[in-house]
A = this chain, B = another copy of it.
């Protein structure tokens, strides 16, 4: 089985569960690469499967394709990536993931308080005016959360 080193787009699709059209799309975005046969058909090397696994995992973390592409471009260009190469890449997302979990937990905490007071006041509630929505959505992402203020007595409905 390690004898036929290349696979077709259809095989790649059925093995990865990703539609052929999506694979074309990924290739057009530079996330995967292929060689062409004499008849202009794509042939993928086996480690493309691993690339796709990485892409799917990354998408689950919430990373946009654009950023995944940039991460993948850190892989060695002609040598087949080693286990360490992949581990290094995966570690990158772990920070992202930690951040996102922390954000959601802050949000959950805030929501609990705000349910208690029923407030949801734009001025006072940490939940409004987030400033950390854009995490992992672009280069200059801002990660701060405004310091919480107390829910004031008048922050319920008038």
Contact = CB atoms under 8 A, between A and B. Distances in A.
A86 B127 contact: no
A57 B97 contact: no
B122 A52 contact: yes
Interface in A88-146: 90-91, 93-94, 97-98, 100-101, 104-105, 107-108, 111-112, 114-122, 125, 127-130, 133
A50 B90 contact: no
B101 A105 contact: yes
* Number of chain A interface residues as a range: 35 or more
Contacts of A100: 104
Contact of A127 (B15, B46, B60): B60
Contact of A81 (B98, B101, B108, B157): B157
B87 A118 contact: yes
Nearest to A57: B127
A60 B157 contact: no
